[in-house]
Structure 1
Amino acid sequence: MAGHAVVVPYPARGHVNPMMQLATKLASHGISVTFVLTESWHKIMTKAMDNDFSHAQKLGLDIRAAIIPDCVVGESERWGNMTNFFLSLSNMETHVSELITNLKSSGTAPSCIVADTFLRWAVPLAKRHNLLSIALWPMSVTTFSIFYHIDLVGLQVCIDCIPGVPSIQRAELPHEILSASPLSNEIAKCLMDVREANWVVGNSFYDLDCSAVEAMINRTPVQCVGPLLIMPSQAHCHDGKDDSQCSQWLDSKPARSVIYVSFGSFIQVSRAQVREIAMGLMQSRCYFVWALRPDKEASHVSEMLPTGFLETSKEQGLVSSWFNQVDILKHPSVGGFFSHCGWNAVMESISAGVPILGFPLALDQFVNCKRVVEEWKFGMRVRSREDENRVIAAQEISKRVVVFMEGEENVRFRGAVERLKELAREEVINGGSATNLKLISDRLKAPQCP
């Protein structure tokens, strides 16, 4: 009997991608997948991912899209008012419930709802429809323990009371969950409701998060199933653009001589800081490829940069609003990743064996950066919490880039991340991540399910 999962991602780029990767892995285990998207997000995915649904079907995987009406605060307004965005997520529940009812009527009844942990209505909805539930935690299990135990923090400056989490400074924790606010209350409710899920799965692997995994065993067990992007038939993100120019440019550069620059798709870096980064890259004389997202007022990346920068730097670097990040990080000429340290970026860096130069901005990124630098030791940082209210100057950025790419520690960074790369691949192919995913898939296909 084939299982059937209704998969519902949190409508944001950093959450949709790992959910699509999880859906692909479930489908590769024989699970039929109905992937639920709002109208706007279906358009974004179809354009930006070169229609992963068609690609999956060509691979023989049963993944199809189900479109629900736009019922969530738009992507551009999200960071401006996260509370309104978070509250609007509840609008999805009615539409998903109707979809499940229709699937039952059509003879394709689902056995499970797979949803992002931050969609707090999903687990109760699964119970009402007598379905199993899987909650995807798209960050590290260590961060899960921090969110789960945030009530233990109090007013301490140095915190060593969170199970499975090494001693950490209060300033490094996600500010969004520390203060009493409607947003932090909603997040706390999500972490409460997810305790009722049949499985909570994390986009991580045991060697990265063993302490947190063990600490959560008797609370809400989180099973590692990552890195989700490592799979035999990876359907990479793609927006239909021709990458040949970038590939040819990278092919012409020496091994490990290029630094790839990207600070994610969510939090905007100020124009003043973007211009200092631009001049810092120029002054470093290192080759670079920069995925620079224009802000709301800009119609082209050139408006974000110093006058004449694109022309002046054309021999040294490439700048565009989009690059295929996974493919670029795998290219032999790329030797470093100048990153905001979002969890997806960390997973992609490890999977490609590329060290990180950290420039965290918010959320869990400061925790991730701390772990990259101090725990896993495959990178260094440019920015910390103390830098939140200042623009880091070009000279400082240039110096860090040169030390990161060409300094004595570069060899150590590469060795450390290569070891993690091999551990990650083993986990996905023969290790705990593979075992966990198979056990879940087998349960979804069982005749008595749910």
Structure 2
Amino acid sequence: MTKAELVFIPFPGIGHLVSTVDVAKLLVDRDERLSITFLIMKAGVDSKVDRFIDSVSAACKCIRFIDLPKDEHDPNQPILLSFIESQKPHVKEEVSKLVSHSELSHDSPRLAGIVVDMFCTSMIDVAKEFGVPSYLFFTSGAAFLGLEFYIQALHDEQKVDPTEFKDSDAELVMPWLTNPLPAKLLPSFLLHKEWMPVFLGQTRRFRETKGIIVNTFEELESHAVSSFFKGNTPPVYPVGPILNLNRDGDHNPRSDRSNKYKDIIQWLDDQPQSSVVYLCFGSAGSFDMDQVKEIACALEQSGHRFLWSLRQPPPRDKMEPPTDYVNFQEVLPEGFLDRTIEIGKVIGWAPQVDVLAHPSVGGFVSHCGWNSILESIWFGVPVAAWPLHGDEQFNAFQIIIELELGVEIKMDYRKELFF
């Protein structure tokens, strides 16, 4: 009955953390000899992250969380890269403590491996230093993983500069898609001179891992998953859909801690079946005041019932998520809330799983984050795609063209987010 321990190093955003923790839960539920330690990097103040961690810690004794010290980033480097690098000494120190404790006590679990987030590939060096295998947890889909490998090989082997595809009408044919991908739908970070080398470097490091765990399932991405068996990449393990259906922490509107969400569900209870359009743009999605007013005018003129998760953008120089507005009237058109009181509701952070699960919700205007796509598929709610940044333009293409599970608002819309 040898005990083993895995160390997980997630990216600190709630969208990555929740699915990573749910993978860890699946693992510890399957083998009582396994325990998992999460090393949590603090990129900024996010109460949702803290409440989520407290909730999981109380419910699952085989998973523990260690907060790492917060360091200042190098202003001469991209914030993301600098932040992750600054945490490497702290990660080494905590892993060293785990290994030392294991060596001193025969009853303590031995370190079996380190699982790193797709943005935390520099931590692969820590696994090598301690002589244990590293695994990658990829929070996007299998086809997007294939895209990253495709662009990296295109650059390294054929000497193609991906930034030349910006504003191009070219179409890219790759093994992981059944349709050609318009180059204008490539992620912003592959079209940007500063960021492109960073993400190509990340993808090169994917190849150093012993395996890649992907939040997808074969029935959804059968073509993409099967294509990995023919390539020269590490083994790919589809383990999804990973969905936080239990709604840990304040995500659960039925918990005592989230009474402020009860009126959302009560409002939905009063609406006819499949009559409400739900608008939500993820944990990092927000719009400036002019865009908010245009969306509000469109909703009012449409006459359709709506539930709108509207959030305030963070300062441009801060690596922080959007926050809830104190007063919606400061950003919405004058009189909008009064004129739409019979058909609409504007809210802050949304208990998304419970909203999508509600029978009154019939459509989802979404940024096409991968977690949101999986949730919409799970609950059978069609998507109207409005991608913003990251992998979202690609995801919109996949949901509309590849899978035919959504409709387009504007697939090639993009809002720069360089954090």
TM-score bracket relative to the smaller structure? 0.7 to 0.9
Counterpart residue number, 2:296: 278
In structure 2, give the amino acid aligned to 1:269.
Answer: F
Counterpart residue number, 2:112: 111
In structure 1, give the amino acid aligned to 2:221.
Answer: D
Q: CA-to-partner distance for each residue in 1:127-181, whole Å, 9 max, x for gaps? A: 2112222201111111111111114274563334322223111101112113432
Counterpart residue number, 1:313: 340
Instruction: Give the Cα–Cα distance (whole angstroms) in 2 for the partners of residues 82 and 267 of structure 1.
Output: 24
| Residue 98 (1) aligns with residue 93 (2) | yes
Q: CA-to-partner distance for each residue in 1:321-361, whole Å, 9 max, x for gaps? A: 21111111111111111101111111111112111011111
Q: Which moved more, 1:221-230 or 1:43-52?
A: 43-52
Matches within 5 A, 1:160-179: 160-165=172-177, 166-179=179-192
Q: CA RMSD in A?
A: 2.7
Q: Secondary structure at the match of 1:241?
A: helix
Q: Secondary structure at the match of 1:323?
A: coil
1:44–1:27 distance in 2 versus 1, CA, 3 Å: farther
Instruction: Give the Cα–Cα distance (whole angstroms) in 2 for the partners of residues 353 and 4 of structure 1.
Output: 37
* Unaligned segments of structure 1, at least 5 residues: 390-450
Q: CA-to-partner distance for each residue in 1:348-379, whole Å, 9 max, x for gaps? A: 11112111011111222111112212222222
Counterpart residue number, 1:212: 224
Counterpart residue number, 1:377: 404
Q: CA-to-partner distance for each residue in 1:282-340, whole Å, 9 max, x for gaps? A: 22222211111112476543322112322332322221221111111111111111101
Counterpart residue number, 2:287: 269
Find 2:371's aligned residue among 344, 348, 351.
Answer: 344
Counterpart residue number, 1:12: 13
| Residue 148 (1) aligns with residue 149 (2) | yes
Q: Secondary structure at the match of 1:19?
A: helix
TM-score by length of 1: 0.77
Counterpart residue number, 2:238: 224
Contact 2:285–2:367 (CA<8 Å) still a contact in 1? no
Q: CA-to-partner distance for each residue in 1:34-85, whole Å, 9 max, x for gaps? A: 122134668634555373323532xxx51111111113659xx9xxx99222
Residue identity over aligned pairs, in percent, reads 29
Counterpart residue number, 2:310: 292
Instruction: Give the Cα–Cα distance (whole angstroms) in 1 for the partners of residues 394 and 4 of structure 2.
Output: 37
Shift of 1:200: 0.4
Contact 1:72–1:85 (CA<8 Å) still a contact in 2? no
Q: Secondary structure at the match of 1:110?
A: strand
Shift of 1:33: 1.5
Instruction: Give the Cα–Cα distance (whole angstroms) in 1 for the partners of residues 90 and 53 of structure 2.
Output: 26
1:327–1:267 distance in 2 versus 1, CA, 3 Å: closer
Q: Secondary structure at the match of 2:121?
A: coil
Counterpart residue number, 1:249: 267
Contact 1:53–1:65 (CA<8 Å) still a contact in 2? no
Contact 2:172–2:183 (CA<8 Å) still a contact in 1? no
Q: Which moved more, 1:319-328 or 1:209-218?
A: 209-218
Contact 1:200–1:222 (CA<8 Å) still a contact in 2? yes
Q: Secondary structure at the match of 2:22?
A: helix
Contact 1:137–1:202 (CA<8 Å) still a contact in 2? yes
Counterpart residue number, 2:320: none
Counterpart residue number, 1:422: none
In structure 2, give the amino acid aligned to 1:106.
Answer: H
1:92–1:47 distance in 2 versus 1, CA, 3 Å: closer
* Larger proportion of helix: 1
Q: Which one scores higher on RCO, CA 8 angstroms, separation ≥ 6?
A: 1
1:388–1:45 distance in 2 versus 1, CA, 3 Å: closer
Find 1:180's aligned residue among 193, 198, 208.
Answer: 193
Counterpart residue number, 1:126: 127
Q: Secondary structure at the match of 1:383?
A: coil
In structure 1, give the amino acid aligned to 2:266.
Answer: Q
In structure 2, give the amino acid aligned to 1:29.
Answer: R
* Unaligned segments of structure 2, at least 5 residues: 103-107, 316-324
In structure 1, give the amino acid aligned to 2:258.
Answer: K
Instruction: Give the Cα–Cα distance (whole angstroms) in 2 for the partners of residues 38 and 179 of structure 1.
Output: 26
Matches within 5 A, 1:182-201: 183-201=195-213
Q: Secondary structure at the match of 2:136?
A: strand
1:176–1:42 distance in 2 versus 1, CA, 3 Å: closer
Q: How many residues align?
A: 378
Instruction: Give the Cα–Cα distance (whole angstroms) in 2 for the partners of residues 202 and 369 of structure 1.
Output: 18
Q: Secondary structure at the match of 1:208?
A: coil
Instruction: Give the Cα–Cα distance (whole angstroms) in 2 for the partners of residues 46 and 343 of structure 1.
Output: 19
Counterpart residue number, 2:321: none
Contact 2:53–2:65 (CA<8 Å) still a contact in 1? no
